[in-house]
């Protein structure tokens, strides 16, 4: 080991550049491993703590498609799910859609035929649900306002859709900020954008007015900085599902009394309701893992290229080191050192370079991961504060150490073989 350290000290510039190259390659791979590990760990924690044990969607739906065909008869379906399986504590139908939002300022400008050129209604995501039927399921915290005041779904009125409309809406902070709305303000919702500023007055005449009753925090289940929440039947009235024939939703979120039997509950519900596909928490996490693995594969390909380049660079530097010390190595052979002993000196030098690279690359990976996590959490609003995109654990660090060992050993193969095969007599007679 002392000989290997001395060899590195004699060429500090070349040794430092080699260690840096290895460090950058290893740091990149460690960063990618920490990124995939963080996403998977955070997603698992969120899904476990959400209270959602099963998700019912329309038959033949796949989670990876991101498309959820309508589930008809949603209000009665929720009751039938509970009646079919005693372990179902909560069955909450959710309708997820996109609408166009207009505020009072735009309405006033439209009436005055003085709409600024850069003003238009805002497109946003919206969730229609029955607020009182989400027991056991995590929903966004209300920061300002009273939130929804009616239990059940008043407009639904047992399937007649003749009950009173509450016209209550909750906006998350991002959407409220964009629309410049506070609790108590009015907002209008329409299914499509008006074709031009001249059509705004007619758009408002056909839009549905709502009153803001709450400003909520972001919602991790539908990550978006622009999201609103209304009663299920009132959203159905806008998008066309408000009738006893349709009464549709996108999903039904199910909270179980005993989540440990989710697999048997899944089978029971799919047998009783062939029009549904029921996903367990394991199915949901499997879909997340599939997406993570896809991106991880691309990242690993990039990382492998970087590691191969670093190994080739280290091989070249070690080969030069052996050539520079060929006479010295021959002298060591002449005084009794065996071929394996000479080869082990080169391997030690390679491993030292690799571990110096690890000492450089690990801090770089950590700092880069911290910055990347800050960037992504600001870019993807709607995630809880506990969500982290990167996670350094023992597994990630051990993978980094294994990679360093592999780089060092691979880089040492050719130079060590050359050092062991040096012709002693010729090297000692050389001028």
SS (HEC) of 270-318: HHHCCCEEEEEHHHHHHHHHHHHHHHHHHHHHHHHHHHHHHHHHHHHHH
In terms of domains, do 266 and 301 share one? no
Q: Does residue 11 register a pLDDT over 60?
A: yes
The number of folded domains in the chain is 2
> In this structure, are strands 227-231 and 122-129 parallel, antiparallel, or unpaired?
parallel
In terms of domains, do 234 and 94 share one? yes
- Rounded to whole angstroms, the Cα distance separating 258 from 51 reads 11
Residue pair 347/321 in contact (Cβ under 8 Å)? The answer is no
Q: Which tokens sit at 229?
A: 């929440």
Backbone angles phi and psi of 248, in degrees to 5: -105, 160
Q: What pLDDT is stored for residue 19 in this prediction?
A: 73
In terms of domains, do 203 and 263 share one? yes
At 131, is the secondary structure helix, strand, or coil? helix
In terms of domains, do 307 and 361 share one? yes
Helix axis angle for 2-10 and 12-49, nearest 10°, is: 110
In terms of domains, do 247 and 324 share one? no
Give a yes or no: residue 333 inside a domain.
yes
Q: Does residue 32 register a pLDDT over 70?
A: yes
- Rounded to whole angstroms, the Cα distance separating 161 from 234 reads 9
Measured on CA atoms in the order 381, 379, 98, 212, is the torsion positive or negative? positive
- Rounded to whole angstroms, the Cα distance separating 260 from 106 reads 51
Question: Could you count the other beta carbons within 10 Å of the beta carbon of residue 419?
Answer: 28
Q: Angle at the Cα of 145 (from 213 to 142), degrees rounded to 5?
A: 100
Give a yes or no: residue 66 inside a domain.
no
Tokens 């001395």 belong to residue = 6
Domain boundary among 225, 246, 274: 274
Residue pair 200/61 in contact (Cβ under 8 Å)? The answer is no
- Rounded to whole angstroms, the Cα distance separating 156 from 352 reads 72
Domain boundary among 216, 245, 274: 274
Please compute the mean of the pLDDT values over residues 234-241 and round it to a whole number. Answer: 90
Q: What pLDDT is stored for residue 410 in this prediction?
A: 79
- 354-406 residue pLDDT tens: 778 788 888 888 888 888 888 877 776 666 666 788 888 787 778 778 877 77
Q: Does residue 235 register a pLDDT over 80?
A: yes
Instruction: Assign 223 a pLDDT band (cuts: 50, 70, 90).
Output: low
Domain boundary among 230, 249, 274: 274
Give a yes or no: residue 128 inside a domain.
yes
- Rounded to whole angstroms, the Cα distance separating 407 from 357 reads 10
User: Under the phi-then-psi rule, with left for phi > 0, alpha for psi from -120 to 50, and beta for the rest, what region is 41?
Assistant: alpha
Among candidate residues 146, 91, 288, 123, the one with its CA nearest the CA of residue 203: 123
Please compute the mean of the pLDDT values over residues 10-35 and round it to a whole number. Answer: 76
The set of residues, in sequence order, having a beta carbon less than 8 Å from that of 224 and lying 6+ positions away, is 124, 125, 172, 174, 218, 381, 382
In terms of domains, do 174 and 130 share one? yes
Give a yes or no: residue 52 inside a domain.
no
Q: Does residue 336 register a pLDDT over 80?
A: no
The residue segments making up the domain with residue 348 are 2-46+287-429
Instruction: Assign 99 a pLDDT band (cuts: 50, 70, 90).
Output: very high
Q: Does residue 233 register a pLDDT over 80?
A: yes
Residue pair 83/171 in contact (Cβ under 8 Å)? The answer is no
Distance, CA of 403 to chain centre:
26
Instruction: Supply the mean pLDDT for the chain.
Output: 82
In terms of domains, do 406 and 296 share one? yes
Range in 184-193, 328-337, 369-378, 413-422 the model is least confident about: 328-337
- Rounded to whole angstroms, the Cα distance separating 429 from 332 reads 14
In terms of domains, do 259 and 306 share one? no
Give a yes or no: residue 51 inside a domain.
no
Instruction: Assign 286 a pLDDT band (cuts: 50, 70, 90).
Output: low
In terms of domains, do 299 and 424 share one? yes
Residue pair 154/242 in contact (Cβ under 8 Å)? The answer is no
Q: Which tokens sit at 179?
A: 């629309």
Give a yes or no: residue 62 inside a domain.
no
Q: What pLDDT is stored for residue 3 in this prediction?
A: 55
Q: For 157-219, give the DSSP string.
A: GGGT--S----EEEEEHHHHHHHT--TT-EEEEESS--SSGGGHHHHHHHSEEEEEEEEE---
In terms of domains, do 314 and 205 share one? no
Q: Which tokens sit at 133?
A: 């039927």
- Rg of the chain's alpha carbons, rounded to an integer? 32
- DSSP assigned state of 249: B
Give a yes or no: residue 34 inside a domain.
yes
In terms of domains, do 223 and 335 share one? no
In terms of domains, do 292 and 200 share one? no
Give a yes or no: residue 59 inside a domain.
no
């Amino acid at each position: 080991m002392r000989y290997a350290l001395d060899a590195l000290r004699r060429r500090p510039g070349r040794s430092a550049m080699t260690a840096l190259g290895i460090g950058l390659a290893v740091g990149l791979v460690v960063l990618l491993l920490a990124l995939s590990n963080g996403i998977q760990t955070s997603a698992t924690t969120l899904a476990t703590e959400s209270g959602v044990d099963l998700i019912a969607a329309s038959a033949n739906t796949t989670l990876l498609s991101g498309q959820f065909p309508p589930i008809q008869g949603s209000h009665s379906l929720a009751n039938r799910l509970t009646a079919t399986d005693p372990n179902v504590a909560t069955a909450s139908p959710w309708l997820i859609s996109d609408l166009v939002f207009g505020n009072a300022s735009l309405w006033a400008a439209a009436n005055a035929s003085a709409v600024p050129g850069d003003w238009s209604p805002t497109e946003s995501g919206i969730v229609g649900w029955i607020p009182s039927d989400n027991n056991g399921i995590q929903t966004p915290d209300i920061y300002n306002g009273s939130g929804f005041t009616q239990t059940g779904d008043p407009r639904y009125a047992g399937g007649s859709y003749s009950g009173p409309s509450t016209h209550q809406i909750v906006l998350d902070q991002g959407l409220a900020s964009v629309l410049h709305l506070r609790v108590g303000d009015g907002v209008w919702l329409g299914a499509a954008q008006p074709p031009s500023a001249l059509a705004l007055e007619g758009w408002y005449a056909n839009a549905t007015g709502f009153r803001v009753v709450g400003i909520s925090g972001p919602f991790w289940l539908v990550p978006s900085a622009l999201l609103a929440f209304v009663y299920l039947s009132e959203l159905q009235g806008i998008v066309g599902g408000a009738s006893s024939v349709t009464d549709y939703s996108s999903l039904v979120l199910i909270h179980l009394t005993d989540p440990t039997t989710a697999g048997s509950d899944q089978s029971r519900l799919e047998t009783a309701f062939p029009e549904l596909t029921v996903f367990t928490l394991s199915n949901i996490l499997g879909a997340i893992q599939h997406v993570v693995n896809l991106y991880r594969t691309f990242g690993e390909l990039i990382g492998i290229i970087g590691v191969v380049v670093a190994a080739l660079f280290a091989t070249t530097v070690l080969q030069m080191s052996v050539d520079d010390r060929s006479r010295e190595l021959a002298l060591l052979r002449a005084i009794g050192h065996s071929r394996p002993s000479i080869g082990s000196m080169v391997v030690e030098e390679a491993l030292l370079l690799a571990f110096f690279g690890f000492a450089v690359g690990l801090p770089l990976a950590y700092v880069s991961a911290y910055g990347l996590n800050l960037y992504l959490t600001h870019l993807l609003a709607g995630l809880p504060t506990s969500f982290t995109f990167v996670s350094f654990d023992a597994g990630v660090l051990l993978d980094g150490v294994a990679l360093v060992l592999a780089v060092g050993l691979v880089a040492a193969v050719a130079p060590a073989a050359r050092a062991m095969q040096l012709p002693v007599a010729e090297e000692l007679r050389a001028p």
